[in-house]
Structure 1
Amino acid sequence: MIIATAGHIDHGKTALVHALTGIDTDRLPEEKQRGMSIDLGFAYQPLDSGRVMGFVDVPGHERFIRNMLAGVTGIQSAMLIVAADDGPMPQTREHLSILDLLGVSDGVIALTKIDRVETNRLKEVENEIKTMVAGTCLKDADIMPVSAIDGSGIEDLRDHLEAMTDLLEKRKGNGYFRLSIDRCFTIQGAGLVVTGSVFSGKVNVGDVLTLSPDGTEVRVRGIHSQNRKSETGIAGERCAINITGANLKGLAVKRGGWLLTPQIHAPVPRFDANLKVLPNEKKPLRHWTPVHVHAGAAEIPGRIAILGQKEISPGAEGLVQVVLDRRMSILRDDHFILRDQSAQRTIAGGKVVDPFSPSRGRAKPVRIKFLEDMMYSEPDYALSRLLQHNPEGVDLKKFSVAWNLAQEDVEALLEIVEHKMAGPEKKPSIFSKVHWETLESEVISNLNAWHQANPDRSNLNAHGLRTATSKRIAMTVFQDVLDCLANSERIVNLGPGYCLPGFEPALSKNDTALWNKIDPILREGNMKAPVVSELANQLKLDPKALEKFLVKIAKLGRVRQVAKNRFFLPEAVVSLAEIAAALGKSNGERGFSAAEFRDQANIGRNLAIEILEFFDKSGLTWRSGDTRKVLKSVSDIFGTN
Structure 2
Amino acid sequence: MSNIIIGTAGHIDHGKTSLIKALNGYEGDETKEEKQRGITIDLSFSNLKKAQQNIAFIDVPGHEKLVKNMIAGAFSFDCVMLVVAANEGIMPQTVEHIEIMSLLGVKELVVVITKKDLVSQEELQSQKNRVLSFLEDFDFDLKFICCVSTFEEKTIENLKEKLFTLKNTNKTQENFFRYYIDRVFSVKGIGTVVTGTVLGNKCELDEKLFIPRINKETRIKNIQVHNQNTLEANISNRAALNLQNIKATDIKRGDLISKKGFLRGFDTLDISFKCLKGKQLYHNRTYSLFIGSKKVEVKVLLFDSTTNLEEGFATIKAKEPFFSVYKEKVILRESNHTIAGGVVLNCVNDPMKKTQKRVLLKALYDEDYKQSYKILLDAHKKGLGLISSAQRFALSHEEAVEFGKNLENVFCDEKELIIYPIQTKEYIKDTIKEIYTKNKYALLSNAAIKLRIKWASSSFIQTVLDELEAENFLKKEKSLYKNANIKEDFSKSLEEVITKRLKQEELSPTAPYNIYDDLDIDRKLGDTILKSLCSKKQVIRMQHNLFIHADCLTKVVQEMKNIIKEDGYIDIKNFKERYPLSRKYLIAYLDYLDNFSQIKKVDNKRVFLSEFV
| TM-score normalised per structure 1 | 0.70
SS in 2 for 1:290: strand
Partner of residue 292, structure 1: 288
Aligned pair partner of 2:306 in 310, 314, 317: 310
What letter corresponds to residue 271 of structure 1 in structure 2? L
**Any residues of structure 2 matched to 1:519-538 within 5 Å, and which?**
527-528=495-496
What letter corresponds to residue 63 of structure 2 in structure 1? H
Task: Report the Cα distance in structure 2 between the residues aligned to 1:578 and 1:190, rounded to whole angstroms.
Answer: 53
Partner of residue 329, structure 2: 335
Task: Report the Cα distance in structure 1 between the residues aligned to 2:526 and 2:483, rounded to whole angstroms.
Answer: 29
Structure 1 residue 68: deviation in Å? 0.4
Aligned pair partner of 1:123 in 108, 122, 125: 125
In structure 2, relative to structure 1, the CA distance for the partners of 1:111 and 1:389 (3 Å cut) is farther
- Indicate yes or no: 2:535 matched with 1:596: yes
Task: Report the Cα distance in structure 1 between the residues aligned to 2:268 and 2:498, rounded to whole angstroms.
Answer: 62
Aligned pair partner of 2:454 in 476, 479, 492: 476
Aligned pair partner of 1:439 in 419, 424, 437: 424
Partner of residue 319, structure 2: 325
Structure 1 residue 578: deviation in Å? 8.0
Task: Report the Cα distance in structure 2 between the residues aligned to 1:289 and 1:524, rounded to whole angstroms.
Answer: 70
What letter corresponds to residue 213 of structure 1 in structure 2? R
Aligned pair partner of 2:467 in 469, 488, 510: 488
In structure 2, relative to structure 1, the CA distance for the partners of 1:445 and 1:262 (3 Å cut) is closer
What letter corresponds to residue 476 of structure 1 in structure 2? K
Partner of residue 544, structure 2: none
In structure 2, relative to structure 1, the CA distance for the partners of 1:151 and 1:575 (3 Å cut) is closer
Partner of residue 271, structure 1: 269
SS in 1 for 2:419: strand
Task: Report the Cα distance in structure 2 between the residues aligned to 1:141 and 1:2, rounded to whole angstroms.
Answer: 15
Partner of residue 369, structure 1: 359
Partner of residue 220, structure 1: 220
| Conservation of the 8 A alpha-carbon contact between 1:527 and 1:576 | no
Task: Report the Cα distance in structure 1 between the residues aligned to 2:236 and 2:200, rounded to whole angstroms.
Answer: 7
| Conservation of the 8 A alpha-carbon contact between 1:8 and 1:61 | yes
**Any residues of structure 2 matched to 1:552-591 within 5 Å, and which?**
563-564=504-505, 581-582=527-528
RMSD: 4.4
| Conservation of the 8 A alpha-carbon contact between 1:213 and 1:266 | no
Partner of residue 399, structure 1: 389
**Any residues of structure 2 matched to 1:340-419 within 5 Å, and which?**
340=334, 342=335, 344-358=336-350, 361=352, 364-377=354-367, 381=370, 385-386=374-375, 392=381, 393-405=383-395, 407=397, 410=400, 419=410
Q: Share of identical aligned residues, percent?
A: 25
Structure 1 residue 51: deviation in Å? 2.2
Structure 1 residue 127: deviation in Å? 2.5
What letter corresponds to residue 94 of structure 2 in structure 1? T
In structure 2, relative to structure 1, the CA distance for the partners of 1:389 and 1:311 (3 Å cut) is farther
Task: Report the Cα distance in structure 2 between the residues aligned to 1:576 and 1:387, rounded to whole angstroms.
Answer: 34
Partner of residue 182, structure 1: 182
| Conservation of the 8 A alpha-carbon contact between 2:15 and 2:114 | yes
Task: Report the Cα distance in structure 2 between the residues aligned to 1:370 and 1:334, rounded to whole angstroms.
Answer: 17
In structure 2, relative to structure 1, the CA distance for the partners of 1:329 and 1:146 (3 Å cut) is same
- Indicate yes or no: 2:423 matched with 1:420: no
Structure 1 residue 258: deviation in Å? 1.5
1:134-187 CA-to-partner distances (Å, cap 9, x unmatched) read 1313363422111123335222221111101xx245533331111111011122
Structure 1 residue 403: deviation in Å? 3.7
Structure 1 residue 84: deviation in Å? 1.2
- Indicate yes or no: 2:156 matched with 1:158: no
Count of residue pairs brought into register by the alignment: 519
Structure 1 residue 377: deviation in Å? 4.2
In structure 2, relative to structure 1, the CA distance for the partners of 1:564 and 1:580 (3 Å cut) is closer
1:185-210 CA-to-partner distances (Å, cap 9, x unmatched) read 12222211100011111111000111
Give unpaired runs (5+ residues) of structure 2.
443-451, 510-515, 541-547, 555-587, 593-613
Structure 1 residue 106: deviation in Å? 0.8
Partner of residue 242, structure 1: 242
| Conservation of the 8 A alpha-carbon contact between 1:205 and 1:220 | yes
Structure 1 residue 563: deviation in Å? 4.2
What letter corresponds to residue 160 of structure 2 in structure 1? R
Task: Report the Cα distance in structure 1 between the residues aligned to 2:482 and 2:96, rounded to whole angstroms.
Answer: 68
In structure 2, relative to structure 1, the CA distance for the partners of 1:228 and 1:366 (3 Å cut) is same
In structure 2, relative to structure 1, the CA distance for the partners of 1:609 and 1:271 (3 Å cut) is farther
In structure 2, relative to structure 1, the CA distance for the partners of 1:531 and 1:226 (3 Å cut) is closer
- Indicate yes or no: 2:604 matched with 1:606: no
1:28-56 CA-to-partner distances (Å, cap 9, x unmatched) read 11111211100111111111x32211100
What letter corresponds to residue 99 of structure 2 in structure 1? S
| TM-score normalised per structure 2 | 0.73
In structure 2, relative to structure 1, the CA distance for the partners of 1:581 and 1:121 (3 Å cut) is same
Aligned pair partner of 2:116 in 114, 117, 126: 114
**Any residues of structure 2 matched to 1:535-546 within 5 Å, and which?**
none
Partner of residue 3, structure 1: 6
SS in 2 for 1:477: coil
Partner of residue 639, structure 1: none
| Conservation of the 8 A alpha-carbon contact between 1:423 and 1:477 | no
In structure 2, relative to structure 1, the CA distance for the partners of 1:444 and 1:44 (3 Å cut) is closer
- Indicate yes or no: 2:207 matched with 1:207: yes
1:302-326 CA-to-partner distances (Å, cap 9, x unmatched) read 1111113335533xx2111111132
| Conservation of the 8 A alpha-carbon contact between 1:375 and 1:382 | no
| Conservation of the 8 A alpha-carbon contact between 1:5 and 1:55 | yes
1:219-265 CA-to-partner distances (Å, cap 9, x unmatched) read 101111244221001111110111111xx247422111122111224
What letter corresponds to residue 419 of structure 2 in structure 1? I
Task: Report the Cα distance in structure 1 between the residues aligned to 2:356 and 2:100, rounded to whole angstroms.
Answer: 32
SS in 2 for 1:318: strand
- Indicate yes or no: 2:38 matched with 1:24: no
